[in-house]
Structure 1
């Protein structure tokens, strides 16, 4: 089980490492899917059975923390560090917790219902979620 978890984490990390926050944000701004995000959903879809078992109620609770750590260390730290508030340790800690929990929540929800949405549909839903978040300030006007 430990070896399977390690392999899954390493393969996930390899896909996350190629994500460049500026390119991802540019793709979002241009209303385009970002191929590395699609690759992550492809990976999750390919390993859905194992991930569902490990992340499920009878699985290993520490694995969710490990996935969050991979997303946080590889991707979110690069993204958060671009924000002026990142100088504040408390902001970084809580933003990290918020974003990694949100990412894991989307993954877990899809794993529970992955027969209903294809990889491409999940990539589009992910895009819609990011687009919605990026436009929250427009609701104030």
Structure 2
């Protein structure tokens, strides 16, 4: 069985060659010189966040594919791990972020089989975060947790 990647293992720069499960807990669409999408991913019910950036072709794919509150299985080779610029404000809990690779197939994360352990499924799927919808609540990270 292929090992499952967890965000705390992101301590290197390069192509991510491991499958992982994550819930989309927020999406931000921005426009600089080109449009880009920040997809906020969590594996622990929102306690920690890994940001995945989608630019170019990957922007159009991610914009139409991913929904807040849903859990996806992301296949190996879909992302590149990059050192995060700490001078730029980020939702990320980690010193690294993910970049969608432009050759990502739009349906690839829906077709891949992801053999998670029982604990990983419970951690990722245990609650639905309707209050984390990026369109309605942009300050969810600033709220204190009970």
* TM-score of the pair, normalised by structure 1: 0.24
Structure having the higher helix fraction is: 1
* TM-score of the pair, normalised by structure 2: 0.24
Structure having the higher strand fraction is: 2
